[in-house]
């Protein structure tokens, strides 16, 4: 049974490694409701970004049917209104530093003060390489005049900033009486209100955020990093859109509660006042020079309703409590064992309040898990010891039914007599598997947690472990984990023959190889588990000398 058990665990860990290797490419397959791709036409936005000085091309926008009406009052006298020069306005709060430009009334910078990059600079959620006219809150419309005025015109700005709160109003109009007003109001930590109104244009429009989010590939590269993908909630279900596989234009088939772009740790999202039509669009950005590569970025947006679009915009970290407070909790998608992962996250955050170090918090939580599983693990060890003691009787039965592998009748008879033997001896052959099987969901949950929970991003432990969400740069913890697995395997009672035992000794080295590129926090958890298991096995072996297990009746 131990052979089958080790093979099962080995396969599970192999698939965990394979999953981590392929998840950046296969993650969109978890989507539940496919978006409806719109066939590109001549009126669609060009797939390749035009030069910065060119005007924004026209884009087809689906018609809307809501009865909402614009609130810009018709002007009695048509007077063009625009600014004479470009200017920026800064909103500075304890948490964020936001910069808006009056050219296009767009967001040109949004940095998070509490989240530094590895170089010490605060995280920037607006890509600096985005071309002019493609910054968050730009407008796309089938009306070319609207595109030009909305995204390249110089708006007149009225602002009021006081004690971390800010309100901005941008206004622009042309000589034909066509007008656009954008309003932004800050007051929450990472979320602000927006309202866009238009008058006099022929086509409907949408507003977009992106392209992409966070310059992650330069600072946090690795197989666990997924940057700039789309995410949307529709009717309580989450859909993930991989940017490389996104259609040129995707109109969602159900109203979006919220829509945005994300990476492992940060999210930019729009939450309309009422669920509305969501849009994803792929943007192909050409290389600037020989040193850069062309790339694809994803834009996310919402359709306006009769000229009006309003709601909340979130640009911030995917903290569990923060997202829950904003109604965005589903943005923290922690995989198949999400309830376990969330429980572990809340436990780690609580323990961190005492340890002030997430590495030691993992150690403490591992000890707690070990204590909780101790009764089952002790029962497993006892069962394996009993199995070891009755092994001569098992071998005798197998010798009696030598043709069991090829003869179904003998195989059935052998199984029946084996079950009778286990029943007489008081042995449950499956009890040895339960503790390890219980560990696997926890292992998967820890993996999802360490690659998604921003609380552990950049969290230090000791000495060379400066980021528990990244791999051990010197592979010391995977090496120690392998050594402890070898020791544990030597101490654990077994019923396999010496040849099989030597083959099974390869497994710790296979696990060590798989774990070498895993987050160091996950390796730390498994390492501590091994050390505690070794201690438990030594104490059990000593206890065994004075409390031998009686078999037989």
What DSSP line would sit under 493-519, residue for residue? ---S-HHHHHHHTTHHHHHHHHHTTS-
Q: What is the mean pLDDT of residues 114-139?
A: 83
Nearest C-alpha neighbor of 45 from the set 211, 220, 241? 211
Cβ(346)–Cβ(365) below 8 Å: no
Phi/psi at 174 (nearest 5 deg)?
A: -115, 180
pLDDT score for 215: 64
Q: What angle do CA 299, 302, 304 make, to 5 degrees?
A: 140
d(CA 205, CA 166): 26
CA distance 508 to 13: 11
**Within 10 A of 539 (CB to CB), how many other CB atoms are there?**
11
In angstroms, rounded to a whole number, what is the distance separating the alpha carbons of residues 227 and 295? 12
Average pLDDT in the chain: 76
DSSP 245: G
Model confidence at 456, in pLDDT bands (50, 70, 90)? confident
pLDDT given at position 503? 66
Place of tokens 């990244």: 470
Integer Cα distance of 471 and 223 in angstroms: 10
For residue 156, what are the contacts with CB-CB under 8 A and spacing of at least 6? 81, 82, 83, 102, 170, 171, 172
| Alpha carbons 449 and 456: distance in angstroms, whole number | 9
The candidate with the shortest Cα–Cα distance to 122, out of 111, 130, 132, is 111
Q: What does the block give as tokens for 242?
A: 């991989």
- What is the C-alpha separation between 351 and 158, in angstroms, rounded? 47
Instruction: Taking residues 10-16, report their average pLDDT.
Output: 53
Helix (H, G, I), strand (E, B) or coil at 145: helix
The answer, yes or no, to whether residue 427 has pLDDT greater than 80, is no
Contact status, residue 31 vs residue 239, Cβ threshold 8 Å: yes
Domains of the chain, each with CATH number or no CATH: 36-62+80-332 (2.70.98.90), 343-390+427-546 (no CATH)
Q: How sure is the predictor about 156, in pLDDT bands with cuts at 50, 70 and 90?
A: very high
Q: Please name the helix (run of DSSP H) or strand (run of DSSP E) that holds residue 10, with its range, or none.
A: helix 2-26
Q: How far does CA 487 lie from the centroid of its chain? A: 35
Confidence band, pLDDT 50/70/90 cuts, at residue 207: very high
Give burial (CB, 10 Å; 0-12/13-18/19+) of 189. Answer: buried
Residue 173: name the closest of 88, 94, 83, 265 by CA: 83
Q: DSSP state, 118?
A: T
Residue 310 has phi, psi (to 5 degrees) of: -145, 155
The C-alpha atoms of residue 338 and residue 320 are separated, in whole angstroms, by 12
pLDDT for the residue numbered 63: 35
The predicted pLDDT at position 23 comes to 47
pLDDT of residue 511: 79
Task: Answer whether 230's CB lies under 8 Å from 261's CB.
Answer: yes
The DSSP output letter for 276 is B
The Cα–Cα gap between 90 and 125 comes to 15
Mean pLDDT of 93-109: 92
pLDDT tens profile 303-321: 988 889 999 999 999 988 8
Residues 470, 451: Cα–Cα separation, whole Å: 8
Whole-angstrom Cα distance, residue 17 to residue 403? Answer: 38
Give one DSSP letter per residue of 294-337, joined into a string. Answer: -EEEEEEEEE-BTTEEEEEEEEEE--HHHHHHTT-GGGS---TT
Q: What is the mean pLDDT of residues 58-72?
A: 40
SS3 call for 141: strand
Tell me how far the alpha carbon of residue 98 is from its chain's centroid.
Answer: 25
> What's the confidence (pLDDT) of residue 103?
92
pLDDT at 271: 93
Q: How far is CA 475 from CA 365, 459, 517, in A?
A: 23, 18, 8
Give the global pTM: 0.73
CA nearest to 197, candidates 127, 244, 150, 145: 150
Contact between 209 and 283 (Cβ < 8 Å): no
Cis peptide bond prior to 211, omega within 30° of 0: yes
- Position 40 pLDDT exceeds 50: no
pLDDT in tens, 350-393: 998 898 898 999 999 989 888 887 777 666 766 776 776 777 77
Using the predicted structure, report yes or no on whether residue 167 has a pLDDT greater than 90: no
Mean pLDDT of 3-29: 49
Mean pLDDT (whole number) for 501-530: 81
pLDDT at residue 159 tops 80: no
Q: Looking at residues 208-225, what average pLDDT do you find?
A: 64
How are beta strands 266-272 and 308-317 bridged, if at all? antiparallel
Nearest of 205, 209, 252 to residue 59 by alpha carbon: 205
User: Hey, what are 155's tokens?
Assistant: 């708006």
pLDDT recorded at residue 19:
52
Q: How far apart (Å, rounded) are the C-alpha atoms in residues 17 and 14? A: 5
Query: Token pair for residue 12?
Result: 């599970």
Distance CA 178, CA 320 (A): 43
Distances (CA, A) of 346 to 351, 438, 490, 529: 9, 20, 36, 20
Lowest average pLDDT, out of 18-32, 247-261, 527-541, goes to 18-32
Q: Which long-range contacts (CB under 8 A, 24 or more apart) does 329-332 make?
A: 330/233, 330/238, 331/231, 331/238, 331/260, 331/262, 331/267, 331/269, 332/452, 332/453
Matching residue, tokens 């009672």: 493
Q: Which helix (H) or strand (E) is 8 found in, with range?
A: helix 2-26
pLDDT at 16: 53
């Amino acid at each position: 049974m131990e052979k089958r058990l080790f093979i099962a665990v080995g396969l599970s860990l192999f698939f965990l490694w394979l999953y981590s290797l392929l998840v950046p490419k296969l993650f969109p397959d978890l989507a539940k409701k496919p978006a409806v791709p719109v066939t590109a036409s001549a009126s669609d936005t060009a797939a390749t970004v035009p030069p910065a000085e060119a005007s924004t091309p026209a884009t087809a926008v689906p018609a809307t049917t809501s009865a909402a009406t614009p609130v810009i009052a018709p002007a009695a006298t048509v007077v063009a209104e625009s600014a004479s020069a470009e200017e920026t306005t800064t909103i500075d709060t304890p948490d964020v530093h936001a910069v808006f430009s009056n050219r296009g009334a767009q967001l040109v910078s949004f940095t998070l003060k509490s989240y530094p990059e590895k170089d010490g600079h605060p995280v920037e959620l607006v890509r600096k390489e985005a071309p002019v006219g493609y910054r968050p809150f730009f407008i796309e419309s089938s009306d070319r005049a609207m595109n030009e005025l909305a995204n390249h015109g110089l708006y007149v700005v009225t602002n009021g900033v006081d004690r971390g709160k800010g309100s901005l109003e941008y206004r622009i109009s042309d000589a034909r009486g066509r007008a656009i007003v954008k309003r932004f109001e800050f007051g929450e930590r990472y979320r602000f209100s927006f309202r866009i109104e238009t008058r006099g244009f022929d086509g409907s429009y949408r507003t977009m955020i992106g392209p992409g989010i966070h310059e992650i590939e330069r600072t946090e590269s690795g197989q666990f990093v997924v940057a700039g993908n789309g995410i949307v909630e529709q009717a309580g279900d989450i859909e993930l859109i991989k940017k490389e596989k996104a259609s040129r234009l995707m109109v969602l088939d159900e109203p979006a509660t919220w829509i945005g772009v994300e990476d492992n740790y940060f999210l930019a999202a729009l939450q309309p006042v009422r669920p509305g039509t969501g849009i994803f669009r792929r943007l192909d950005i050409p290389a600037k020079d020989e040193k850069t590569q062309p790339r694809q970025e994803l834009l996310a947006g919402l359709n306006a309703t009769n000229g009006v679009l309003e709601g909340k915009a979130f640009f911030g970290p995917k903290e569990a409590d923060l997202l829950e407070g904003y109604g965005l909790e589903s943005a923290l998608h922690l995989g198949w064992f999400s309830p376990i992962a969330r429980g572990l996250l809340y436990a780690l955050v609580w323990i961190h309040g005492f340890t002030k170090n997430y590495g030691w918090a993992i150690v403490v939580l591992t000890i707690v898990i070990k204590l909780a599983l101790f009764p089952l693990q002790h029962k497993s060890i006892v069962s394996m010891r009993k199995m070891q003691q009755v092994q001569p009787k098992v071998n005798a039965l197998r010798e009696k039914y030598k043709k069991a592998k090829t003869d179904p009748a003998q195989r059935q008879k052998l199984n029946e007599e084996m079950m009778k033997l286990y029943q007489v001896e008081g042995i449950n052959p499956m009890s040895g598997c339960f503790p390890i099987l219980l560990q696997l969901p926890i292992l998967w949950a820890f993996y999802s947690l360490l690659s998604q929970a921003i609380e552990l991003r950049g969290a230090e432990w000791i000495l060379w472990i400066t980021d528990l969400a990244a791999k051990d740069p010197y592979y010391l913890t995977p090496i120690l984990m392998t050594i402890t697995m070898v020791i544990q395997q030597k101490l654990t009672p077994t019923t396999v023959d010496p040849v099989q035992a030597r083959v099974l000794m390869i497994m710790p080295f296979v696990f060590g190889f798989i774990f070498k590129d895993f987050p160091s926090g996950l390796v730390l958890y498994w390492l501590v588990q091994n050390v505690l298991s070794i201690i438990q096995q030594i104490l059990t072996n000593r206890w065994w000398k004075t409390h031998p297990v009686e078999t037989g009746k």
